[in-house]
Amino acid sequence: MTSRPVALVTGGGRGIGAAISHRLARDGYDVLLTYNSSSKPAEMVVDEIRNSGGDALAVKVDCSDEGEVGLLGIHAWMNRKIDALVLNHGRYDRVPAAEMELDDLRRTMKANFEGAVNVWKVVQPHLAPHASMVVVSSQLATRGSPHGADYAASKAALSTWARSLALAVGPEGKRVNVLAPGYVDTDILAGDSDSKRAQRIEEVPLKRIGTGDDMASIVSFLLSNDAAYITGAVLHANGGLYLP
């Protein structure tokens, strides 16, 4: 019996990451997902996947901590080889551009950018020969943000690194693509007032906020053989809100 392929999803216990974990499980992957501070939602995702006939495991990894990421690299599931890698973890502190301190930038870059690179470095030796990778970035990586300059900068670095990586590993048969979401109904928007949410909806040409499932469907496509000739792409999924 052929074993199921393995997907590693960082930040896979909440929001977009949870939706991706569920979708990849339905696609036939066993899912190894990481969380940082929220163990209960992550374990709920694992239970739901297992109850649906799949297999999943949640591990605590602070992606800004080199030691914890190093432990991920020696996890038992790495022996099975990783077929799909989704770098989805991140932090967003809403630091106004004009007030951003270097410490704010360093903290966000360490989690969102350096953490992603470090995960790649420890997982890379364990990737299957034709593994595919999706990096979850943001529309703000190219659009900028007056109230999240550190976040936008970290995602810009992440996107450019991912495209560089696509050029480097393409000859090996590996693919790397970038998903750049717009407004998505996650914790980042949870504090919106009714009027603010209505304003967001009005701004989007498709007249709705994106869902985690919307993003998960795109990740599923980018990891699949249907996207076999796509690498180094940045796919903007924002309902028409931003057209770079």
Q: Which of 29, 151, 229, 242 is the catalytic position?
A: 151
**First CA to last CA across the chain, in angstroms?**
46
Closest by alpha carbon to 88, among 155, 40, 30?
A: 155
Determine whether 151 is an active site residue. yes
Helices 39-51, 15-26: inter-axial angle, 10-degree rounding: 20
Place of tokens 């703000």: 140
Residues 224-229: contacts with CB within 8 Å, 24+ apart?
224/27, 227/132, 227/175, 227/177, 228/175
Tokens of 65: 């901590």
Torsion, Cα of 181, 60, 25, 45 (10° steps)? -90
Could you give the CA distance from residue 122 to residue 69 in angstroms, rounded to a whole number?
Answer: 7
Are 5 and 83 contacting, i.e. CB atoms less than 8 angstroms apart?
yes
> Catalytic residue positions?
151
